[in-house]
Amino acid sequence: MAHAEAHAHDGHDHNHAPAGIGRWLFATNHKDIGTMYLVFALIMFFIGGAMAMVIRLELFKPGLQFVDPGFFNSMTTMHALIMIFGGVMPAWTGLANWMIPLQVGAPDMALPRMNNYSFWILPFAFTLLLLSFFLPGGAPAGGWTLYPPLVLQAGDSFGLTIFAIHMMGISSIMGAINVVVTIMNMRAPGMDLLKMPLFCWTWLITAYLLIATMPVLAGAVTMLLTDHYFGTAFFNPAGGGDPVMFQHIFWFFGHPEVYILILPAFGIVSEIIPTFSRKPLFGYESMVYATGSIAFLSFIVWAHHMFTVGMPLAGQLFFMLSTMLIAVPTGVKVFNWTTTMWRGSISYEPPMLFALAFLFLFTIGGFSGLMLAIAPADFQYHDTYFVVAHFHYVLVPGAVFAIMAGVYYWLPKWTGHMYDLKLATWHFWLSTISVNVLFFPMHFLGLAGMPRRIPDYNVQFADWNMVASIGGFAFGLSQVMFVWIVLKSVRGGGPKASARVWDDTNSEGLEWTVPSPAPFHTFETPPVIK
């Protein structure tokens, strides 16, 4: 087989995709694998979204209406695990697969078989995770952070949860290694590191974070596994262990993880804003250095997630100040994006609209993050809906909006057809209004003291919960439009897209030099960059 392949490769280019199911199961093509990642992420967004709908339905009014509290807790836990590991991360990897080889002028990802392996592990990992619903004791319900001793009291599904996380970790590490190697080894001649589009830069740094932290998560959940099944005492004070130790190890992974979720978003926004402002990005190099600084800082701030567990004063001060320091490089980015638009010739196509919403709404999430960073204030906010509001602002109108911006930006390049711009603009406005109706009231609920992860609440919180639920349903429904718009473009609706797609001459990414739709194989002979 290998021999035949070698000869086939020696010969003429054969620019057609293999036929049948084998094309997808045995794929080594970065575009096919990218597509599979994106489709998988979309399915997971809807499964995780359905869980969010159950949560908002139960919280629509006080009292227990629809689900029992145990199942409610499973919903919050699974919603988080699915959205983080099944939705956002695979969506980023899918975009990386599609775009990084196109942007650096590489014929494919550096290690194509491993690329396939990283993808196909995911459906199996989430099958394991979702199987847990059908075992005695139900799905994990102790929160996605898996804190012991609560999580150790899970039912028969405990092992499934842990191993599912192991598999997701293996997949992410391999995906990240592929990105690093592709960028470091596969750039076309003349594509210096500091000429790369920012999406490549932010993904490169994200990949380093993944390689450094996913193994730590693997270690943490392995300790949970042995504590549960084999009697080790890592988190058991009776044997000299400490449940707080888990929190330290978990958040050593967990904080870099939140930057894993957001750094690629910075990259996408940094490409879209210049394109639709018809100006080069302001402060390209400072963007790169800011991304690097954020990544470095993400390793030394983890304990701000656990100010209330008790920690020495020096520790609280250190983690508080290091956390606030992150505002500096993040500020550099926000100012650079704003300055890029200054006196630009701006047009408001859907990708730009989503990027602009990102800019404003992510910044709101950043500011509430600053509030949470203040240790004495955090004692009040901790485990309230204020925290829920904060991280949903950075994850939904932050990461998820950037994913949608990216899809709307590159979809014509993938399908060769412009999608329905008017419908996509409707999708934008409905999403942006509903997402704020959904999450903004949570700030008020949290400041008023409503705790997170509860199925029932005091009547004083009733009004804003109802508002949030209405926003939630509206947001959920709006996303059906997204699927419709994408499907229509995939099936060939809409006018043909040109190679450059957008009316702009500033975007320098090599993806705009190949035709739309991008052929099955691109850059088999490396392009030369002047």
Partner 1 sequence: MANTHAPQGDKYYIPHGSPWPFFGSVTLFTVMLGAVGTMEGAGAGSLILSLGFTMLAVLFIGWFGTVIRENQEGIYNLHVDRSFRMGMMWFIFSEVMFFAAFFGALFYARQLSVPWLAGEGVKGAVEHLVMFQDYAGGWPTNGPEALSPRADGTYEIVPALGLPAINTLILLTSGVTLTVAHHALQAGKRGVLNVFLAITFLLGFVFVGLQAEEYHHAYTELGLQLSTGVYGSTFFMLTGFHGFHVCLGALMLLVVWFRTMKGHLTPERHFAFEAVAWYWHFVDVVWLGLFVFVYWL
Restricted to residues 212-241, the positions that interact with partner 1 (CB under 8 A) are 212-216, 218-220, 222-223, 226, 229-234, 236-241
Q: Does 193 bind partner 1 (CB under 8 A)?
A: no
Closer to partner 1 by Cβ: residue 241 or 449: 241
Residues 103/182, Cβ–Cβ less than 8 Å: no
Q: Given the rule CB under 8 A, which of 159-167, 190-198, 259-267, 481-489 is the region that contacts partner 1?
A: 159-167
Which candidate in 61, 452, 453, 488 is catalytic? 452
Q: What is the 3-state secondary structure (H, E, C) of 92-144?
A: HHHHHHHHHHHHHCCCCCCCHHHHHHHHHHHHHHHHHHHHHHHCCCCCCCCCC
Is 293 noted as a catalytic residue in this protein?
Answer: no
Q: Does 3 bind partner 1 (CB under 8 A)?
A: yes
Is 257 noted as a catalytic residue in this protein?
Answer: yes
Q: Does 127 bind partner 1 (CB under 8 A)?
A: yes
Q: Does 519 bind partner 1 (CB under 8 A)?
A: no
Q: Which pair of tokens denotes residue 4? A: 């035949």
Q: How far apart are CA 138 and CA 115, in angstroms?
A: 33
Q: Is 143 left (phi over 0), alpha (psi -120 to 50) or beta?
A: left
Q: Is-cis flag, bond preceding 149, omega within 30? A: yes
Q: How far is the CB of 162 from partner 1 (least distance, A)?
A: 8
**Binding track, positions 295-324, relative to partner 1; x by CB under 8 A:** ---------------xxx------------
Is 108 noted as a catalytic residue in this protein?
Answer: yes
The correct pick among 70, 112, 143, 519 for binding partner 1 (CB under 8 A) is 112
Q: How far is the CB of 69 from partner 1 (least distance, A)?
A: 25
Closest listed residue to residue 55, CA positions, set 479, 476, 481, 478: 476
Closer to partner 1 by Cβ: residue 153 or 226: 226
Is 304 noted as a catalytic residue in this protein?
Answer: yes
Distances (CA, A) of 439 to 139, 392, 434: 26, 7, 9
**Helix H segments across 326-420?**
327-341, 350-373, 375-381, 385-394, 401-415
Q: Given the rule CB under 8 A, which of 173-181, 352-360, 405-413, 451-459 is the region that contacts partner 1?
A: 173-181
Closer to partner 1 by Cβ: residue 242 or 508: 242
Closer to partner 1 by Cβ: residue 216 or 258: 216
Q: How far apart are CA 72 and CA 60, in angstroms?
A: 13
Q: Does 26 bind partner 1 (CB under 8 A)?
A: yes
Q: How far apart are CA 47 and CA 527, in angstroms?
A: 41
Q: Does 526 bind partner 1 (CB under 8 A)?
A: yes
Q: Which of positions 385-414 make contact with partner 1 (CB under 8 A)?
A: none
Is 228 noted as a catalytic residue in this protein?
Answer: no
**Helix H segments across 278-326?**
284-297, 313-325
Q: Does 167 bind partner 1 (CB under 8 A)?
A: yes
The correct pick among 10, 192, 194, 459 for binding partner 1 (CB under 8 A) is 10
Give the sign of the dihedral formed by CA 300, CA 302, CA 306, CA 311.
Answer: negative
Q: How far is the CB of 25 from partner 1 (least distance, A)?
A: 5
Q: Which pair of tokens denotes residue 328? A: 């500096």
Q: Does 27 bind partner 1 (CB under 8 A)?
A: yes
Q: Given the rule CB under 8 A, which of 179-187, 273-281, 331-339, 441-449 is the region that contacts partner 1?
A: 179-187
Q: Does 39 bind partner 1 (CB under 8 A)?
A: no
Which candidate in 24, 203, 259, 302 is catalytic? 259
Residues 431/480, Cβ–Cβ less than 8 Å: no
Q: How far apart are CA 212 and CA 214, in angstroms?
A: 6
Q: Given the rule CB under 8 A, which of 56-64, 109-117, 374-382, 492-500 is the region that contacts partner 1?
A: 109-117
Q: How far is the CB of 161 from partner 1 (least distance, A)?
A: 9
Q: How far apart are CA 319 and CA 302, in angstroms?
A: 7
Contacts of 155 (CB under 8 A, 6+ apart): 135, 136, 137, 138
Q: How far apart are CA 7 and CA 1, in angstroms?
A: 10
Closer to partner 1 by Cβ: residue 195 or 521: 521
Q: Does 11 bind partner 1 (CB under 8 A)?
A: no
Q: How far apart are CA 180 and CA 184, in angstroms?
A: 6
**Binding track, positions 235-274, relative to partner 1; x by CB under 8 A:** -xxxxxxx-xx--xx--x----------------------
Q: How far apart are CA 86 and CA 79, in angstroms?
A: 10
The correct pick among 15, 63, 66, 124 for binding partner 1 (CB under 8 A) is 124
Q: How far apart are CA 443 and CA 478, in angstroms?
A: 23
Which candidate in 172, 277, 291, 432 is catalytic? 172
Is 502 noted as a catalytic residue in this protein?
Answer: no
Q: How far is the CB of 124 from partner 1 (least distance, A)?
A: 4
Q: Which pair of tokens denotes residue 27? A: 């794929």
Q: Given the rule CB under 8 A, which of 105-113, 345-353, 358-366, 473-481 is the region that contacts partner 1?
A: 105-113
**Binding track, positions 138-157, relative to partner 1; x by CB under 8 A:** ------------------x-
Which candidate in 157, 171, 368, 384 is catalytic? 171
Q: How far is the CB of 150 from partner 1 (least distance, A)?
A: 18
Residues 165/239, Cβ–Cβ less than 8 Å: no
Q: Residue 451 half-sphere exposure, CB side, CA atoms within 13 Å?
A: 7
- Catalogue the active-site residues: 79, 108, 144, 171-172, 255, 257, 259, 270, 304-305, 330, 333, 452
